[in-house]
Structure 1
Amino acid sequence: MLSLTVPESYGYVIAVSLGLIPVLGFAHGVIVSGLRKGANVHYPHSYATVEQCEANPAAHKFNCAQRAHANFLENSSQTMLFTLVAGLKYPQLATLLGALWVASRTVYLYGYVYSTQPRGKGRLWGGAFWFLQGALWGLSVFGVAKELL
């Protein structure tokens, strides 16, 4: 029989990984949905064409929001898992790194969609999420290795 004991402060880890991260995903969806009509991009199309973007700045803004959302989806599930696993050994650090990841992703979203930087380059303001995600991965691997070795 396998038993899993979680640290007393593991609730904070859960709050970040299964609370804040999904809420940010929902916010991404709301923003994309809100911009779709003005961009004149109808379902099932995911993005505006180059011609639509050239003719309508709202279409470019929609594409930026859609790409920010797609990038979030490409990274959020592994980050949730890394946070949950790292939190088993290092709950405070995993909570901090996860919360900073959410903050960085929020800046990334805002910069991508609402900045006046050309071609969505405002997203780079939130680029720290890559390092935070890597730190969570490393903390997960280190914590597991420490248990096994």
Structure 2
Amino acid sequence: MVSITVPNNYGAVIAVGLGAIPVLSFIHGGITGSCRKKAQVPYPHSYATVEQCKANPSAEQFNCAQRAHANFLENAPQTMLFTLVAGLKYPEYATAIGATWVAMRCLFLYGYVYSGKPQGKGRMMGGFFWLAQGALWGLSVFGVGRDLL
């Protein structure tokens, strides 16, 4: 039998992993929906066509919002898991790094959608989220994982 003891300050880890990250997902969805409406891209189409983007700058912005949201959804589940697992041994680090990841993802979203840079290059404003995600992975695998072996 395996028992897991959570540290006293694990609530902050939960606040980031199961609070801030899902809230950011709702924000992404709201921004993407708002951009879809302005771009007049009907469901079920995931993206505006090249022709639509040439004719309507809002269509390009919608594509950027849609891609930012998709990228978020590709990375959020593992980041949530890494935050929760790393927090079992390193709650302060997991909270700080997880919060940094959320902040970088906000910059990524803002840069991608609102910077006005061509081809979504504004996303690089928050591109360092990968470092935070890697740090959480490292704390999970090498910090907590080795204790389980």
**TM bracket (short chain):** over 0.9
1:12 and 2:12 correspond: yes
Deviations, residues 76-131 of structure 1 (Å, cap 9, x unaligned)? 00000000000000000000000000000000000000002111100001011001
Q: What TM-score do you get using the length of structure 1 for normalisation?
A: 0.97
Instruction: Name the structure 1 match of 2:57.
Output: 57
CA distance in 2, matches of 1:22, 1:37: 23
Deviations, residues 28-73 of structure 1 (Å, cap 9, x unaligned)? 0000111111111000001000000000000000000000000000
CA distance in 2, matches of 1:24, 1:59: 22
**Considering only aligned residues, what root-mean-square deviation do their CA atoms show, in Å?**
0.9
The runs of at least 4 aligned residues of structure 1 exceeding 4 Å deviation read none
Flag structure 1 segments of 5+ consecutive residues without an equivalent. Answer: none
Letter in 1 for 2:37: K
Most deviating of 137-146 and 85-94: 137-146
What is the correspondence of 1:20-31 to structure 2 with a 5 Å cutoff?
20-31=20-31
1:109 and 2:109 correspond: yes
1:99 and 2:99 correspond: yes
| Per-residue deviation, 1:2 | 3.1
CA distance in 2, matches of 1:71, 1:135: 19
SS in structure 2 of the partner of residue 131 of structure 1? helix
Flag structure 2 segments of 5+ consecutive residues without an equivalent. Answer: none
Q: What TM-score do you get using the length of structure 2 for normalisation?
A: 0.97
Report the count of equivalent residues. Answer: 149
Deviations, residues 1-43 of structure 1 (Å, cap 9, x unaligned)? 4321100010000000000000000000000111111111000
